[in-house]
Amino acid sequence: MVISSSPSIARAGFFDVVSSWFSGDANVALAEEGFSETKMALLEAAVNTNPTSTTTIDNLSIVDGKALLSEVGVTGTIADVVDAPVSDQISVYVVHKGDSLASIAKMYNVSPNTIKWANDIKGAIKEGDVLTILPVSGIKYVVKKGDTLVTIANKYKADAVDIQQFNDLTPGVGLKIGDTIIIPDAEPAIAIAPTVKKPTSTKSTSGSSGPSLTGYFMNPLPGAKKSQSIHGHNGIDLARVPVGTAVLASAKGTVILAKFGGYNGGYGNYVIVSHSNGTQTLYAHLNTVSVSKGDVVRQGQKLGGMGNTGRSTGPHLHFEVRGAKNPF
């Protein structure tokens, strides 16, 4: 089978058929039949090169289910403003010849900094690089007199390091009045203008809504205690077990990402597993990673060891469920 490296070809014609073949358990079958990681990655890229389009609702820019809001404001939360029935799934993209950060960002309707931040990119990308496309929510903020990264982070319950890295700011260099920056994963008290119509039903931008798949997911860190309830992208924190304790696959699936080394948008070392029912689970702040991209894992199989990497205030596992309710 010849796999084209052209993104335009990958989004039409032949790959429309390929996309229908390689869904659900088909990825598992591919791995079991001995498909190479490279071929699987290219096929995944073909399937993933048609991301959700950007729409505008009452002047709010909705990107992959996230509300990117102006910071001008009154009280309320992002969830109070918009109900965007769009997936919060993480995408994996293999860089093709001729790609740039700008072109990939446009393809996924995110900013180039979103991709740089999630992949610890310091220089140029090259053909064959595997990029994680995180659906990052945030707020557009215009820098005012007296602002610092710390004061802005405190105001919006964000992280100063995240703001600095996401916006590619130089450490130690002050902000410029009038510059527009993005505050990733902010929890603002924002203004809801009188012209904005509040929907009758709301959906949390953290991804906590979705089907309840009772019995499908197992506890990925048996014996641990929950140290933080739902936060971020439908995640919980599990702790109070020794560093290195085995982190287990919560359900059978295919590893679509296994990152070791780097800040990675705050996740540190982490693993993402895609499941046949369309959900994804994410395991972050790992001390070690025991699997590789493309591996088919059974429920309860070790993915790595609990650790303290990335944005972490102490040893714990940050566990996310995307596409369904987190049962823990």
136 and 75 inside one domain: yes
Residue 308 lies in a domain: yes
Q: What digits encode the pLDDT tens for the residues 247-294?
A: 999 999 999 999 999 888 889 999 999 999 999 999 999 999 999 999
122-143 residue pLDDT tens: 889 999 999 999 887 778 889 9
How many domains does the structure of the chain reveal?
3
pLDDT tens for each residue of 59-69: 223 333 333 44
pTM for this entry = 0.62
For residue 222, the model assigns a pLDDT of: 95
In a domain, 211, yes or no: no
Q: Does 212 reside within a domain?
A: no
Share of the chain above pLDDT 90, in %: 43
Find, among 109, 139, 323, the residue nearest to 233 by Cα.
323
- Residues 72 and 20 placed together within one structural domain of the fold: no
Q: What is the extent of the structural domain holding 12?
A: 7-48
Q: Is the pLDDT of residue 310 over 50?
A: yes
CA 112 to chain CA centroid, nearest Å:
14
Q: Which residues of 89-128 are buried (b: 16+ CB within 10 A; e: fewer)?
A: bbbbbbbbeebebeebbebbbbbbbbbbbbbebeeebeee
